[in-house]
Amino acid sequence: MFNRVAFITGASRGIGRATALTLCRAGFEIVVASPEVEKNEEVAAEIRACSGDAMTLDFDVTSPASVKDGVAKAIKDKGRIDVLVNNAGVTRDALAVRMKLSDWELVLKINLQGAFLCSQAVLPGMMKNRWGRIVNISSVVGQAGAVGQANYSASKAGLIGLTKSLAQEMASRNITVNAIAPGYIQTDMTAVLPEEVKAKILASVPLGRIGKPEDIANAVKFLVGEEAGYITGHVLAVNGGMYM
């Protein structure tokens, strides 16, 4: 049995890093793709330390050329891409009435357009192999909205629409496309929130704790496995109950 190859964007930190390490332990070969070259190598070293196989890519999801070239390099090196995890994302928070157009465009370009470009690049190979798994990392705010996050919420809601459309298009080729909607997860992105905001969010979580990146990574591991082969077009909420 050959090892499946998982291509993970934004894999240099947070949820992406946890996903890379979790899938490595599950026997996947990993492509660590992000523009943070040094951090990519740190993650790859961790993967190799647990007897896994990894390659790194200086990868910019906003650049069609970078996406096309990066995917081509991965396929040349690994022979195939079986799993794509669209995890790359940024925030640029502000009330909508004050939001800069450049901040709206950047968030949509990275979070949503980037996922589209990556999916478009890997799908021909998956279609040829008649097997594939795409997991888009959405967010609870893509379902519920959030004050000061019109751009981020729109991008993550867009990912859900992209997920459902691709799932319908690709089902006949044995390719599943699903989304995960994380809640309040302990990452660099949430670490910068003011303490009063963190406390307010935590109070809305019935399970009473902040999620860990590994909580999301374990959900990814399930969705990309053989056991989830009859699940597609689904949005899996991993949010401690904060939105039901």
Instruction: Give pTM, 2 decimals.
Output: 0.97
Pair of tokens at residue 5: 């190859």
The 3-state DSSP composition of the chain as helix, strand, coil percent (nearest 5) reads 50, 15, 30
Which residue do the tokens 């399930």 mark?
222
Place of tokens 């997860």: 185
Query: For the residues 129-139, what does the mean pLDDT come to?
Result: 98
Q: What digits encode the pLDDT tens for the residues 144-190?
A: 999 999 999 999 999 999 999 999 999 999 999 999 999 999 988 78
Inside any domain, residue 204: yes
Q: What is the mean pLDDT of the chain?
A: 96
* 27 domain residue, yes or no: yes
Residue 164 lies in a domain: yes
The model's pLDDT over 43-54, given as tens digits with 9 standing for 90+, comes to: 999 999 988 899
Which H helix or E strand runs over 184?
A: none
152 counts as catalytic: yes
The answer to whether position 128 is within a domain reads: yes
Q: Is the pLDDT of residue 214 over 80?
A: yes
| Residues 134 and 119: beta-carbon distance below 8 Å | yes
Range of the domain at 94: 5-233
Q: Given the residues 152, 184, 230, 243, select the one marked as catalytic.
A: 152
Looking at residue 51, its pLDDT comes to 86
Which of 133, 126, 158, 139 has its CA nearest to residue 238? 139
Tell me how far apart the alpha carbons of residues 98 and 57 are, in angstroms, rounded to a whole number. 36
User: Per-residue confidence at 124, pLDDT binned at 50, 70, 90?
Assistant: very high
pLDDT for res 1? 56
For residue 239, pLDDT beyond 60: yes
The total number of structural domains that make up the chain: 1
Q: Supply the CATH number for residue 31's domain.
A: 3.40.50.720
